[in-house]
C-alpha cells in the first residue's frame, strides 16, 4: 500500500489560512466542553481558564531545564511541591519534583526503588514489584523499560487488592509494592494502611498512585466524605504521585512525585560528568521541560486557594453521588463496588453494556468501555456537573432501547462467537488483518461521535489468548500513527 507521506512545505502559508485549516480539523474532535465527555479534559470554568491562559503565555518559551538561568521557575516548582506535600501530610523531611505526568512520576518512583535496592540489597539480581491488576498500566510500562518483573495480584470482590494474595506474592526479590488512591477502573481506594504495613515489615518500598485522587481526596476528606487513610500519615508509605492536571485543573503536563525522606530522592536524579558539553544533571526523566504549565498551576493554586478547591470538589461530588444513586435505581444496572470519589464504573446483569454505550454515543455521550467485568467508566469533573440529570434521562432511554431490541444483543453475541471461532482456525496474520479494519474505526465515525464498538470490545474482552488482543492493538496503534 502506497504511503500518503506529507512533504515539508517549500514556502510559508498565511496565518489566516493556517488557523482556518486547524479549526477545520479541530471540528472533528469531540466537544468536551459540552459536559458529555468524562475524563481526559479537566476544566475549572471559563473565567478561571482565561486567567490561567494569561499566565501560561508569560512563560510560553521558557525552559525549565536550567534553574540557574530561570530561578523563578525553580521557586515556583519548589513551592508547588511543598504545597502538595502539605495536602498529603508529609513530614518535615519530604522531597519531590514536578514531572510531565503520572506515568513519569510512577516511572521515577520505581527507578528510585530499583537503584536504592541495588545499593542496599545487592543480592537481588532480578528485582520484582507487586502490582494489583487494577493499578494503572504505567507500573507495567515502567517495569518494562527498567527491566523489572511485575508480580500481578488480583483484586477482591470489592475491587480492592486482595491482601492475602499480596502477602503471598512478597519474595526476597520484591523491591516495591504499588497501591492506588483510587484505582482508575473502579474508583476505590486500596487498603493502603495494611499494604504499607506489609512493606514496612519487609523493608521494601510502598508507592501510592494518587494521580487521580491527589487533588481530590484531601478536599472531600475535609468535607467529611468517608475517605480511608492513603497518604504519609501511614508509616511505610515511601512515595506518592499526584497529577495536578487532573483534579488540580492545571494545564496538561504537571504531576508531582513526593518522597517521605529527602535522602531517597537523590537516587531519582541523573548525573553525567564526562560529557564534553559540560556536567549534565537532571532531577527527572525529561531534559527540556515546559515552564508554562508549572507556573500556571502555581497561579491557579493561589487564585483558588483551599476555599476554591473545596467548592470545585463539592460540586463535583454532588454530581457524582447523584449519578451513582440514579444508575443504581435503573433496573439491571449497578455501580461496581463502593467508590470513595467521583470516579466509578457501572455494569449490567441483563443487558449488553457495550450496546448501551453505543446507544449513549448516538445521543452524544462518550463513555469509556472496560473489561473484566464488562463495564462503562465515568470520571466526573467540574464540566460534567451541569449534565447530571440529562445523563440519567438519556441512560434510561438507552437501556430501554437495548432491552427492547433483544435481537441486537443476540446479533452482537453471534458476531463475537464467530470472531472467536475464526481466531482459532485462521492464521494469526489473516485474522489480524480482518480485525484491523474493524478496530481502526473504534474511536470516531460521523461527526464527533464514537462509532459502534460493542462488537470490537466484546471480541477483545472475550479472547482466551491475550496475545491475540495485544497483536491487534499493536496493529491498531501502528495504523493510527501514520498518514
Give the E-state strand segments of 81-236 in sequence order.
95-99, 128-132, 149-153, 174-180, 205-209
Buried b (16+ CB within 10 A) or exposed e, 72-85: ebbebbeebbeebb
Q: Is residue 434 pLDDT above 70, yes or no? A: no
Which region holds residue 2: left if phi is over 0, alpha if psi is between -120 and 50, else beta?
beta
So what's the pLDDT on residue 420? 54
So what's the pLDDT on residue 440? 43
As given in the structure block, the three cell numbers for residue 24 are: 477545520
Using 50, 70 and 90 to split pLDDT, how confident is the model at 471?
Answer: confident
Lowest mean pLDDT among 106-115, 183-192, 400-409, 448-457: 448-457
Q: Is residue 311 pLDDT above 90, yes or no? A: yes
**Across 229-255, average pLDDT:** 98
At 183-196, the pLDDT tens digits run 999 999 999 999 99
- 459 burial (CB, 10 Å; 0-12 / 13-18 / 19+) is buried
So what's the pLDDT on residue 460? 58
So what's the pLDDT on residue 437? 52
So what's the pLDDT on residue 445? 41
- Which value, to the nearest 10 degrees, does the dihedral of the CA atoms of residues 320, 325, 327, 330 take? -160
When the pLDDT of each residue in the chain is averaged and rounded to a whole number, the result is 90
Using 50, 70 and 90 to split pLDDT, how confident is the model at 441?
Answer: very low
**pTM for the predicted model, two decimal places:** 0.89
Which of 37, 4, 34 is CA-nearest to residue 365? 37
At 209-228, the pLDDT tens digits run 999 999 999 999 999 999 99
Using 50, 70 and 90 to split pLDDT, how confident is the model at 387?
Answer: very high
Which of 337, 252, 265, 324 is CA-nearest to residue 294? 252
So what's the pLDDT on residue 480? 77
So what's the pLDDT on residue 424? 52
So what's the pLDDT on residue 462? 53
Q: Is residue 442 pLDDT above 60, yes or no? A: no
Distance separating alpha carbons of residues 203 and 176, to the nearest angstrom: 9
Set out the domains of the chain in order of their start, with CATH numbers.
57-300 (3.40.640.10), 314-480 (3.90.1150.10)
Distance separating alpha carbons of residues 40 and 246, to the nearest angstrom: 8
- 407 burial (CB, 10 Å; 0-12 / 13-18 / 19+) is exposed
Distance separating alpha carbons of residues 352 and 185, to the nearest angstrom: 18
Q: Is residue 4 pLDDT above 80, yes or no? A: no
Place of cell 431490541: 405
At 29-79, the pLDDT tens digits run 989 999 999 999 999 999 999 999 999 999 999 999 988 899 999 999 999
Which of 225, 389, 247, 224 is CA-nearest to residue 322? 389
At 89-112, the pLDDT tens digits run 999 999 999 999 999 999 999 999
Identify the bridge partners of residue 150 per DSSP, sorted by sequence position.
129
> What Rg do the C-alpha atoms of the chain give, in angstroms?
24
Helices (H), 363-427: 388-404, 406-425
Which of 145, 146, 84, 71 is CA-nearest to residue 115? 146
So what's the pLDDT on residue 448? 44
Distance separating alpha carbons of residues 430 and 153, to the nearest angstrom: 34
So what's the pLDDT on residue 435? 55
So what's the pLDDT on residue 250? 97
Q: Is residue 430 pLDDT above 60, yes or no? A: no
Distance separating alpha carbons of residues 429 and 421, to the nearest angstrom: 15
Distance separating alpha carbons of residues 458 and 415, to the nearest angstrom: 9
Rounded to the nearest 5°, which phi and psi values hold at 162? -75, 110
Amino acid at each position: 500500500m502506497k504511503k500518503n507521506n506529507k512533504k515539508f512545505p517549500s514556502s510559508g502559508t498565511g496565518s489566516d489560512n493556517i488557523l482556518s485549516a486547524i479549526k477545520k480539523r479541530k471540528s472533528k474532535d469531540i466537544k468536551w466542553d459540552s459536559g458529555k465527555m468524562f475524563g481526559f479534559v479537566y476544566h475549572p470554568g471559563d473565567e478561571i481558564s482565561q486567567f490561567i491562559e494569561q499566565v501560561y503565555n508569560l512563560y510560553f518559551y521558557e525552559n525549565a531545564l536550567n534553574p540557574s538561568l530561570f530561578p523563578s521557575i525553580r521557586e515556583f516548582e519548589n513551592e508547588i511541591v511543598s504545597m502538595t506535600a502539605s495536602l498529603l501530610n508529609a513530614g518535615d523531611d519530604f522531597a519531590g519534583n514536578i514531572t510531565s505526568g503520572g506515568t513519569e512520576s510512577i516511572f521515577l518512583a520505581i527507578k528510585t526503588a530499583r537503584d536504592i535496592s541495588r545499593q542496599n540489597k545487592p543480592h537481588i539480581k532480578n528485582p520484582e514489584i507487586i502490582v494489583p491488576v487494577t493499578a494503572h498500566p504505567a507500573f507495567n510500562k515502567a517495569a518494562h523499560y527498567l527491566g523489572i518483573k511485575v508480580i500481578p495480584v488480583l483484586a477482591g470482590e470489592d475491587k480492592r487488592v486482595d491482601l492475602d494474595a499480596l502477602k503471598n506474592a512478597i519474595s526476597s526479590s520484591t523491591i516495591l509494592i504499588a497501591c492506588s488512591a483510587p484505582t482508575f477502573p473502579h474508583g476505590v481506594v486500596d487498603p493502603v494502611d495494611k499494604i504499607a504495613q506489609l512493606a514496612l515489615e519487609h523493608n521494601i518500598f510502598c508507592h501510592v498512585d494518587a494521580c487521580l485522587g491527589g487533588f481530590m481526596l484531601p478536599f472531600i476528606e475535609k468535607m467529611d466524605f468517608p475517605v480511608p487513610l492513603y497518604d504519609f500519615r501511614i508509616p511505610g508509605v515511601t512515595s506518592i504521585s499526584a497529577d495536578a492536571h487532573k483534579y488540580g485543573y492545571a494545564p496538561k503536563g504537571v504531576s508531582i512525585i513526593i518522597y517521605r525522606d529527602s535522602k531517597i530522592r537523590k537516587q531519582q536524579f541523573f548525573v553525567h560528568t564526562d560529557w564534553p558539553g559540560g556536567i549534565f544533571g537532571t532531577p527527572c526523566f525529561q531534559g527540556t521541560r515546559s515552564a508554562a504549565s508549572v507556573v500556571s498551576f502555581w497561579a491557579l493554586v493561589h487564585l483558588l486557594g483551599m476555599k476554591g478547591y473545596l467548592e470545585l470538589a463539592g460540586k463535583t461530588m454532588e454530581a457524582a453521588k447523584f449519578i451513582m444513586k440514579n444508575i443504581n435505581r435503573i433496573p439491571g444496572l449497578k455501580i461496581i463496588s463502593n467508590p470513595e470519589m467521583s470516579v466509578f464504573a457501572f455494569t449490567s446483569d441483563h443487558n449488553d453494556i457495550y450496546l448501551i454505550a453505543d446507544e449513549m454515543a448516538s445521543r452524544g455521550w462518550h463513555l469509556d468501555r472496560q473489561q473484566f467485568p464488562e463495564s462503562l467508566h465515568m470520571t466526573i469533573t467540574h464540566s460534567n456537573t451541569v449534565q447530571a440529570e440529562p445523563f440519567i434521562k438519556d441512560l434510561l432511554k438507552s437501556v430501554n432501547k437495548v432491552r427492547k431490541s433483544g435481537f441486537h444483543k443476540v446479533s452482537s453475541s453471534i458476531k463475537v462467537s464467530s470472531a472467536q471461532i475464526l481466531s482459532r482456525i485462521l492464521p494469526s496474520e489473516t485474522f489480524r488483518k480482518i480485525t484491523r479494519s474493524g478496530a481502526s474505526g473504534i474511536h470516531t465515525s460521523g461527526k464527533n461521535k464514537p462509532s459502534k464498538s460493542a462488537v470490537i470490545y466484546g471480541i477483545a474482552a472475550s479472547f482466551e489468548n491475550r496475545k491475540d488482543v495485544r497483536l491487534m492493538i499493536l496493529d491498531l496503534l501502528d495504523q493510527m500513527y501514520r498518514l
